[in-house]
Structure 1
Amino acid sequence: MLIEKNVPLRPYNSFGIVARAQTLLRVTGEADLRQLAEDRQLAAAPKFVLGGGSNIVLTGDVKPVVLKVEVMGRRLVSQDDKAWIVEAGGGENWHEIVRWTLAQGYPGLENLALIPGTVGASPVQNIGAYGVELQDRFDSLDAVDLATGRVFTLDAAQCAFGYRDSVFKHVAAEPGGFGLAGKVLILRVRFRLPKAWKPVLGYLDLEKKMAATGEQHPSAQQIFDWICDIRRAKLPDPRVIGNAGSFFKNPTVSREQCADIIARDPKVVHYLLADGTVKLAAGWLIDACGWKGKSVGNAGVFEKQALVLVNRGGDANPVTGGEVMTLARAIQTSVYERFGIRLEPEPVVV
């Protein structure tokens, strides 16, 4: 177990915010966490699990012990007539795992291409895009209890997946409760990829690609390529312009609420869900309030996609977490005043 002190975190957060970790441990396997649990001083200290840093806003130096997840590995665990079970280490790059599964002939994750971050973070957020969520392809995961160093396994039901939500984002409300925020680190994730593969195409951008190419029965690789093209056209590369991807969750409302908004704003982008509620496009709501391209200090709203907040200061004068959150709160106020809807941020604010 190697402990590092006063570690710069700017390379480890996609916004490019300047901050430091007072204490950092690089986790490459269970042994590191067993040693952590056996160290009396470190075991008692608060912990912060850091994956790819693509879904966080740092508002200052991080005082808890930072556990940098660097658990690697990818393999086919098993298969039967119905599905392949594929496993990846929590420190693996998410997009590269999507690419690898397709190259191995295991389709199913293609709609989740180019989502930034690591495999270990994917169940925490229940990542999703273009009609597919992680829970749709999830089998199980291995995690470590940070207090004891004990490894345990959770299935989908135990992860309590919801829209951009899971048990890993909640603190237990009472003794015996099952909220796991701050209590565990995800080591490995296993995916169940059905052999009876069916394309998921129910999004306008994908329909446009089918119309443009004349391909009405695309392969998984074709969908992967289309989604990479779509995301690159809409979203900034964090290696060029710092950002944390989609900053707000798409809100859901009742049909009556949606009808009321449509009566005032007929062009509102909305999607009817299976449970009868309606999902609204948060980016459209923000754009309708006039925020696209606007800035607060060095924090700005991306010109091509209002759902993305960016670092306009670059390397010379990087954005602060305070500027990002000031801009986010101003956007929330505007959307609430116009539509009566409270936007909820996706990133974790530290």
Structure 2
Amino acid sequence: MPTPSPAPQIECDVDLRPYNSFGLPAKARRLVRIGSDADLHWVVNHPDWGRASKFILGGGSNLVLTKDLQPLVLKVEVPGRRIFDAGADWVVEAGAGERWHEFVRWTLEQGAPGLENLSLIPGTVGAAPVQNIGAYGVEVKDRFECLDTLDLMSGRVVTLGREACHFGYRDSVFKQHLAGRSVILRVRFRLPKAWQPELEYLDLQRAAEQAGVKEPTPEQVSNWVCAIRRAKLPDPAVIGNAGSFFKNPIVSEAVCREVIARDPHLVHYPLPDGRFKLAAGWLIDACGWKGKSVGGAGVYEKQALVLVNRGEARGGEVLTLAQAIQASVFARFGIRLEPEPVVI
């Protein structure tokens, strides 16, 4: 008979600074590392921990911690990568604990492009559909096939397709009524073999022109995306941050015209449904916040959409800065900015 896997260990008073990209100080009173389905089943079926409240932690790249976490923290570290030949497409699968950018690079190495526009986004594969991450004209939902998730109440593993995930702009069912109720174990993406580059964004068009390339390879697109992101965004390993802190607000045509009437230089993008997406970074910069600080928290000098940890920042300082920015933008433009990260 096979030897049963050892039960996972419950760790106490775990410092969470290494586990959130902002580097904010907080502790998990109890933490268990989930490396397999069996680990999660052990938690769900445990006479004490099964009933305990839980907090699901992936890569911590979309998190602002303002206090210690009292619930049992499930640190999702499920590994694994696979690729399947699905006729006209490739289907690629990764464990929820895999690092997103490493997984994207791996798909390119396997000759299965399609995720290259999402290169260098921090975090884990399991967190990608939760946030419906997106960049340079591509969102996770555009390539999504399905995922396996475990219900923390019943212990059942179910497979959810695209419709069941209710993807929206930086949103999904996992941020709504499944928040804290299920744990993503594995995610699959469908990538057409008949690959076409997505170059609708001006930055990518400029990169192609500068390189003198009319028909780029997937690797070239990935490299351009990485270079653009590095030029605009700070490396969390060097300067603590959670990437773009606010969602780009989506408004009606009437509201967009009203703002343009006051500020003709407003950066805005038309959407297929007739509404407009406004550049939150431009709104924040126009209010004079770029480079400003509140305690150890600040607005990044190169991109006003990014809040950073200038050293020993606390979550409360990040939250105070974010609220001041929201109030300032609303007072000038009448636009309410919505944070992307989860604030605890």
Which band: TM-score by shorter chain?
over 0.9
* Structure 2 equivalent of residue 26 of structure 1: 33
- In the TM superposition, what whole-angstrom CA distance separates every residue of 1:238-270 from its partner, at most 9, and x where no partner exists? 000000000000011111211111121111111
Q: Partners of 2:46 and 2:137 in 1: how far apart?
A: 44
Q: Partners of 2:228 and 2:33 in 1: how far apart?
A: 34
Q: Partners of 2:111 and 2:153 in 1: how far apart?
A: 39
* Structure 1 equivalent of residue 318 of structure 2: 324
Aligned identity (percent) is 66
The letter for the 1-side match of 2:251 is V
The letter for the 2-side match of 1:122 is A
Q: Partners of 2:276 and 2:212 in 1: how far apart?
A: 30
Name the SS of the counterpart of 2:38 in structure 1. Answer: helix
The letter for the 2-side match of 1:136 is D
* Structure 2 equivalent of residue 121 of structure 1: 127
The total of aligned residue pairs comes to 337
Q: Partners of 1:2 and 1:115 in 2: how far apart?
A: 30
Deviation of 1:39 after TM superposition, in Å, equals: 1.2
Give the 5 Å matches for 1:1-350: 1-80=8-87, 82-170=88-176, 179-313=177-311, 318-350=312-344
Name the SS of the counterpart of 1:85 in structure 2. Answer: strand
* Structure 1 equivalent of residue 4 of structure 2: none
* Structure 2 equivalent of residue 174 of structure 1: none
Q: Partners of 1:278 and 1:214 in 2: how far apart?
A: 32
Name the SS of the counterpart of 2:92 in structure 1. Answer: strand
Deviation of 1:40 after TM superposition, in Å, equals: 2.0
- In the TM superposition, what whole-angstrom CA distance separates every residue of 1:111-168 from its partner, at most 9, and x where no partner exists? 0000000000001000000000000000000011112321110000000000000000
Deviation of 1:43 after TM superposition, in Å, equals: 1.3
Deviation of 1:45 after TM superposition, in Å, equals: 1.1
Q: Partners of 1:59 and 1:78 in 2: how far apart?
A: 45
What is the alpha-carbon root mean square deviation over aligned residues? 0.8
Given that residues 169 and 181 in structure 1 are in contact (C-alpha distance below 8 angstroms), is that contact kept between their aligned partners in structure 2?
Answer: yes
- In the TM superposition, what whole-angstrom CA distance separates every residue of 1:292-325 from its partner, at most 9, and x where no partner exists? 0000000000000000000011xxxx11000000
Q: Partners of 1:53 and 1:233 in 2: how far apart?
A: 22
Of 208-217 and 4-13, more deviation after overlay is shown by 208-217
- In the TM superposition, what whole-angstrom CA distance separates every residue of 1:45-74 from its partner, at most 9, and x where no partner exists? 111110001000001110011000110000
Of 276-285 and 257-266, more deviation after overlay is shown by 257-266
Please report the TM-score for the alignment, with normalisation by the length of structure 1: 0.95
The letter for the 2-side match of 1:343 is L
Deviation of 1:211 after TM superposition, in Å, equals: 2.2
Q: Partners of 2:171 and 2:93 in 1: how far apart?
A: 21
Given that residues 30 and 149 in structure 1 are in contact (C-alpha distance below 8 angstroms), is that contact kept between their aligned partners in structure 2?
Answer: no
Q: Partners of 1:105 and 1:79 in 2: how far apart?
A: 14
* Structure 1 equivalent of residue 5 of structure 2: none
Name the SS of the counterpart of 2:93 in structure 1. Answer: strand
Q: Partners of 1:195 and 1:292 in 2: how far apart?
A: 43
The letter for the 2-side match of 1:55 is N
- In the TM superposition, what whole-angstrom CA distance separates every residue of 1:58-112 from its partner, at most 9, and x where no partner exists? 01110011000110000113421x2101000000000001100011100100000
The letter for the 2-side match of 1:2 is Q
Gaps of 5+ in 2: 1-7
Given that residues 36 and 149 in structure 1 are in contact (C-alpha distance below 8 angstroms), is that contact kept between their aligned partners in structure 2?
Answer: no
Moved over 3 A (4+): none
Given that residues 34 and 148 in structure 1 are in contact (C-alpha distance below 8 angstroms), is that contact kept between their aligned partners in structure 2?
Answer: no
Q: Partners of 1:345 and 1:6 in 2: how far apart?
A: 28
Q: Partners of 2:51 and 2:122 in 1: how far apart?
A: 32
The letter for the 2-side match of 1:46 is S
Gaps of 5+ in 1: 171-178
